[in-house]
Amino acid sequence: MVTPEENELLTRIGPGTRMGALMRRYWQPVGTTGEMHGKPAKRVRLLGENLVLCRNEDGAFALLEESVPRGCTRAVYPVAELGGLLWGYLGPLPAPLVPQLDGLVAEGTIRILGSAVIPCNWLQIMENSLDAVHTEWLHGHFFEFIKESEGLKISLRKKHVKIGFDEFEYGIIKRRVLEGHTEDDDDWKIGHPVVFPTTLAIGNASPEWHEYRFQIRVPVDDTHTKHYWFGAFVLPEGATAPPHLLDRVHEYETPIFAPNGDFMLDSIHGQDIMAWVTQGAIADRSRESLGSTDRGITLYRRMLLRELKRMEDGHDPKNVIRDPACNGVIVLPLEGRKAQRSDGFEALFRRHQVRYSPIAEEILAVLRSGRAPALAG
């Protein structure tokens, strides 16, 4: 539980707010190079500011303040390109480097990017990523209940025996041991990270299925979050992909509401979004009751406040990289055999929002064409 004032401090990111100042120290994705082909400009609302993504006279991208009062100078923010994505930086200059996360820069991958605007504050979405146990319920028991009303009986629940959270150089590693598994399993031994401040990395590394997956939470304003689902699929040995799958990031809009306006409760992302949105436009943390499984959340909040203080003390906060020598490929911990994915790649693929990608079937065909016995699952 936090006070209403602490909740305000943690969640509000508009111009002039303290957390907004911290978030402005990080590059935020604002689009893709592909979508800007032949398009002069695109509106971008970011951190409570109305901006326009466009090219300047040199053909380079920049972010401009959309409207400026008479007599004021129009703010211009730098834009960088990495991994087919365009990143904007709203902080003090000189801007740091865009961190080269492994999945963004891996060669020869099929890249997809789903996106949706979630009508709630960014922090409750991030906290979900520090909350290992929710999968057992929201994606387990609750999923079963939803399927029960459809007359189906499925079982996704597996009890958490143990959860763990460790700070590492780039953020927090989240670990779990599910019933019937051990600390030798990847879920515990490797875990998967939240890259500070707003990216969840949860992919899969095995010879037959090697995928990088990032969920990037970009605060639009205090009560909306642009959610990016980035996926980069490494071709299995022996597989080939047509050039059009490899030459760009394939974007799509991820539907988050059913036609009747309700949440899409028969999908993992729809379940998450139901939980996030029903917590309120800005979750009221002065009325929460945290238990022992919420210590990942507490750790993350403390880290936000610690890095805020570091910044206010005149230092660069965590994950701000300025030395090109230190900005090689950032190899994140990546699990191979996850207990929750025991029913096979294809089944998982179809449960996941990836299925809304227009190239979903092509991806499956490419991955099947390799030496990939496990894909039969």
Partner 1 sequence: MLTAEQNDRLTRVGPGTPMGTLLRRYWMPVATVGEMRDRWTKRVRLMGEDLVLFKDRSSNFGLIGEFCPHRRASLAYGIPEADGIRCPYHGWKFDGTGQCTDQPNEPAGSTFKDRIKNAGYPVSEMGGLLWGYLGPLPAPLIPRLDGFVADRAIRHVGEAIVPCNWLQIMENSLDPVHTEWLHGLLYEFIKEGEGVKVAIARHHAKIGFDEFEYGIIKRRLMEGQSEDSDDWKVGHPVVFPNILAVGSGGGLWQQYTFQIRVPVDDENTRHYWYHAYVPPEGAVVPQHLLDDVPLYEPPIVADDGSYLLEYIHGQDIMAWTTQGKIADRSRENLGGSDRGVTLYRKMLEREMAVVEAGGDPKCIIRDPAQNEYIELPLERNKDMFGDGFESLFRRHMSIFSPIAEEIIAVFAQAREARREPAGVT
Catalog residues that contact partner 1 under the rule CB under 8 A.
127, 131, 133-134, 136-138, 141-142, 145, 159-160, 263, 265, 271, 274-275, 278-280, 283-284, 287-294
Smallest separation (angstroms) from partner 1 to the CB of 179:
12
Nearer to partner 1, 54 or 274 (CB): 274
| Terminal-to-terminal C-alpha distance of the chain | 43
Nearer to partner 1, 284 or 316 (CB): 284
- Rounded to 5°, angle at Cα 360 from 112 and 370: 95
Nearer to partner 1, 68 or 290 (CB): 290
Nearer to partner 1, 1 or 41 (CB): 1
Nearer to partner 1, 141 or 371 (CB): 141
Peptide linkage before 358 cis (omega within 30 of 0): no
Smallest separation (angstroms) from partner 1 to the CB of 50:
30
Smallest separation (angstroms) from partner 1 to the CB of 351:
17
Smallest separation (angstroms) from partner 1 to the CB of 321:
33
Dig out the tokens for 138 from the structure: 């929201």
Smallest separation (angstroms) from partner 1 to the CB of 288:
5
Smallest separation (angstroms) from partner 1 to the CB of 262:
10
Nearer to partner 1, 134 or 217 (CB): 134
